[in-house]
Structure formats: C-alpha cells, structure tokens
C-alpha cells in the first residue's frame, strides 16, 4: 500500500513548501491533506529520510515547478537559481485592513488613550490630547499593487484624497501618480508603504522623504521594515520632525528600537497584519485554486502585481 501511495504522489506535480524551520503551516489540519490531493509537496524541513535541507532540495530541484512561500522565508536570486524549472510562486498577503487600522489608531491616539485610562491618569489629568480625523487626509500610497489598491479602496470610502507612486504609472488607476516618492510625501499627510522590498526600494523612505512629509505627517508600514531607514525614522519621531507612525514591520525583527517604546505617537504591531482566521481560509482557497489552474494550463486565480 505504501508503495502505491508513493507511486501516486510521484505522478502529481511537485511543489516546494518554502518556510523557516520554526514556521509551520498556520492552516486548519485538513488543508495540508487537501493540498496533497492535488500536488506532491516537498518540505525539506519534514523530509521523511531526515536528510539535510540542501540535500533534499537538490534531489527534487529538477522536478519543482511551483513554490509555496510561507511567512518570512526569504527568496533570494541564489535560491531561485537552484530551482531551474520553477515557473510559479504562490503567496498571499491581505493586510489592507491592518494598514487602515494602524492609521486610525495613530490619528485618534487609540492605543495611547487606552494606556492613559488603564494607568489611571484620567482622574488626575482630566483632559486628554486631541486626535485627528481621518476624513479629508491626503494619503500617499507607496506601491499600488494588490494591497495598495485595497488600501486605496478603503480610504476612499473615508473621504481621503489618494495619490500614489510605483514602478510605473497605472493606466487604470484614477489617482494622481508621482514618479518620485519625495514629491508624493510633500503632497501627502500620510504615507502608507505597501510595496515589496527590492534593491530599488531599500530605504526608499529616507530622511529627505520624512522631512518632505512634514511635522504632522504619519508613516504606516505594512510592507517590509527595510523600506524605511529605521534609525532616521526613530530620530524624526523622537525629535518631532514627523507626527507619528504605525509599524507592523521592522528592520531587525523581532527587535524593535527601544526609543519607540516611550513615544505615544507610535503604534507597534508584531508583523501580524495577515494573521486572521479569515485570511488563512482565503489563502487555502487561493493556493489550491492557483495550483490547480497552473497545472491545468488555465488562467491563474490571482496574479500578484510586482509593484
């Protein structure tokens, strides 16, 4: 029976599960079994022969046509070079709600107000500093891909004015486009970072961009920590050169700069923007749908924008 199962699995398309050793599939127990019905999963961290990761990867490299990347597992050019027949990378990040939530939290000082009440400061100080309304804010989105588009949709409903920057101007996007991120910052009250981390976008938010954003400007980062020059961000926040920040990602995770713990205009989140049961269920459907479509030579269910 075991031989028959092995033969059947070998006839299925081969898919690599790329993850950090500490990261398991955060899905319901039936998902992996459901996935294995359609594809043969190669997970080097669970190799039945207990062989080293590199050995397992090399053994399957010329059969792997698709890759599922999970969580923070990096995909470098060197890693891709080891997979000569790879054609598809499947991943999903639905973080638009979190980006909007961080922005509202920063503007209305919700987390700081919570600490104010829990610290029993209300009876002593009486008045609490005013927050700022979201409606009418000029929001600049850095990276108008799938996530950026969802953020724009949500904030448009709040009455925000949207503009964006990305690698290229989107012909079907009705919002103003800025080729230079500093120009976008100068014409925005808020910058929301939704783009991937590449050599081009590393520290795309530098001191000049923060100064252009201004003393009341807010930065929301749900992309990657190194999109922002974190040392400069800390200095600008502490010295009051920008108004606030909502951060779900950091340059040296899980280490967060100590200076940020003592400032009330910063909201911190532990890189969990995608972590909801609903998003995981959506990922289940998306992964299986894309893999089935790909190996049946049909259009993919979703194509991730490179912006």
**Which candidate in 224, 230, 232, 284 is catalytic?**
224
Q: Is 253 a catalytic residue?
A: yes
The whole model's pTM is what? 0.73
What pLDDT sits at residue 301?
A: 63
Question: What is the CATH number assigned to the segment(s) 14-92+275-296?
Answer: 3.40.50.720
Which residue out of 60, 108, 167, 271 is catalytically annotated?
271
Residues 6+ apart with CB under 8 A from 302: 92, 146, 286, 290
Q: What is the predicted pLDDT for the residue at 138? A: 98
Mean pLDDT of 226-232: 97
**Catalytic residue at 271?**
yes
Residue from 46, 51, 216, 253 carrying the catalytic annotation? 253
The percent of residues in the chain predicted with pLDDT above 90, rounded, is: 50
Lowest mean pLDDT among 94-98, 117-121, 280-284: 280-284
Dist CA 298 CA 44 (whole Å): 29
Position 29 confidence tier, pLDDT thresholds 50, 70, 90: low
Active-site annotation holds for 34? no
3.40.50.720, 2.130.10.10, 3.30.420.10, 1.10.10.10: CATH of 95-268: 3.40.50.720
Of 6-10, 28-32, 66-70, 71-75, give the lowest mean pLDDT range. Answer: 6-10
**Domain boundaries of the chain, sorted by first residue:** 14-92+275-296, 95-268
């Amino acid at each position: 029976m075991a031989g028959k199962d092995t033969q059947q699995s070998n006839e299925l398309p081969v898919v690599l599960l790329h993850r950090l050793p500490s990261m398991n599939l955060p899905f319901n127990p039936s998902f992996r079994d459901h996935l294995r019905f359609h594809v043969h999963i190669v997970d080097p961290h669970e190799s039945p022969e207990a062989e080293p990761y590199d050995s397992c990867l090399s053994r399957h490299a010329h059969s792997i046509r698709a890759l599922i990347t999970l969580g923070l597992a990096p995909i470098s050019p060197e890693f891709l070079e080891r997979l000569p027949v790879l054609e598809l990378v499947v991943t999903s990040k639905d973080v638009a709600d979190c980006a909007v939530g961080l922005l509202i939290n920063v503007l209305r000082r919700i987390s700081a107000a919570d600490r104010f009440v829990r610290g029993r400061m209300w009876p002593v100080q009486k008045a609490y500093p005013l927050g700022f309304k979201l409606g009418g804010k000029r929001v600049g989105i850095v990276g108008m891909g799938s996530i950026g588009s969802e953020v724009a949709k949500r904030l448009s409903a709040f009455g925000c004015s949207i503009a964006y920057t990305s690698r290229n101007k989107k012909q079907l996007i009705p919002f103003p486009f800025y080729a230079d991120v500093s120009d976008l910052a100068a014409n925005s009250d808020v910058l929301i970072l939704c783009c991937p981390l590449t050599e081009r976008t590393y520290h795309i938010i530098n001191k000049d961009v923060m100064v252009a954003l201004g003393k009341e400007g807010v930065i929301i980062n749900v992309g990657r920590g190194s999109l922002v020059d974190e040392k400069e961000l800390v200095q600008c926040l502490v010295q009051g050169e920008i108004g606030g920040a909502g951060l779900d990602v950091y340059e040296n995770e899980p280490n967060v700069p100590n200076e940020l713990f003592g400032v009330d205009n910063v909201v911190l989140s532990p890189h969990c923007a995608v972590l909801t049961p609903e998003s995981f269920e959506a990922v289940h459907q998306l992964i299986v749908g894309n893999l089935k479509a790909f190996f049946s030579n049909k259009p993919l269910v979703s194509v991730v924008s490179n912006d």
